Every structure is written in structure tokens, then in C-alpha cells.
Amino acid sequence: MTDIFRDFITKLAQVSEPDMNKIMSCTTTHNVKRNTIILSQGQVCNNLYFLEKGCMRTYYITKEGQEKTRLISFDNTPVTALTSFINQKPSVEYIDALEDSELLSISHDDFFMLLNEIPSWALFYRRMLELAFNFQNNRIEDLVTLSAKERYEKLVQDRPHYIQRLSNRIVASYLGISQETLSRLKSK
């Protein structure tokens, strides 16, 4: 299972075999069943996860009780409530498994110990943050500048697996629209 994570790391930074072995020694594997919440609002996020297989969702619940999905993660992606993980403050987000999932985790303490000891891990971290920033910035830009129809069409074009693998409720929450609006867009 860990070969997928090794490949992900080496795509972002060259890591020597001894350093890679040290990194991998800090990971723990988890099999998570569908509908399992791995982080709740108010908890401190103590782990950076890497989703090797499955589907996870990062979302907020508004004061009115509405779910607002910030991120959907599929195979081969990092998953965490990054602000809580970095600052070690209570999370405002939830993370749950939308499918049975296979995860690796690295604790906050081990993650930052690796940053201090392995320069290539620091480069990996910087590049991972850059990818996350670009993705989230593009997502915010889409939510602010595109109509519901344009956001849906872009999702169908760029990420058709979202439509295929996720429920209408989750897709609507991700797009920032109601399920009724999503149903109308899908029927056209």
C-alpha cells in the first residue's frame, strides 16, 4: 500500500532511500469504512492523511445545519484540515469517508520532526502546499465568478468521476447549489 505514497512524494521531491525509509517509518495505515468521520468540528487535526484508495470529503456545517463541501479527495491525494493541522487549533471542518478507504497517516509531531531533519521533505511540503493553494484558489475563483450552470459544466468536463461516484447531495454541496438546481442542470 505504501508504494503509492512513495510515488506521490517522489513526484514532488527527490528523496534518498534512507530518508524515504525514515519518512515511511513514521506512517500508519488505516482502513476506514464508508461514513466514518475521521475528524469532527472542534477536534484538533493531529494527522496528515494520504488517501491511497477511496473517497473522502472535507466539509463545514453552517449554523443553519447545511453542509458546505470544501474538498472531495479521491485516490492518491493528501487529506487533512490543514489550518488545524498546522496551528494545532480546533478544526472548523469535518472529514469523512464517502467510500471504504485506505489511508496512511503521519502525526503532526512526526511530520514536523521530518521537516527539521530531511530537507527534501521540506521541499515536498512546500510543493504540496503550493498545489493545495492553487487548487483552492481556483475553486474559490469558480465559486465567485461562474454561474451554477458553468460550475456544473466545468465539473462534468474536468472531473466527470465526481458525477459518477458521488451522490447528488454531495455534488450539490460541492458546487454550492441546491439539489433541485443540480437536478435541473443534469436534466438539460
pLDDT computed for residue 122 by the predictor: 95
For 97-142, how does the pLDDT look when each residue is reduced to its tens digit (9 = 90+)? 999 999 999 999 999 999 999 999 999 999 999 999 999 999 999 9
> Burial level of 109, CB count in 10 A (0-12/13-18/19+)?
exposed
Sequence-distant (6+) residues with CB within 8 A of 2 are: 24, 27, 29, 104
Find residue 56's DSSP bridge partners.
73, 97
Taking the complete model, does pTM exceed 0.85, yes or no? yes
| Domains of the chain with CATH codes | 1-121 (2.60.120.10), 136-188 (no CATH)
CB 94 within 8 A of CB 41: yes
Report pLDDT digits (tens) over 54-88: 999 999 999 999 999 999 999 999 999 999 999 99
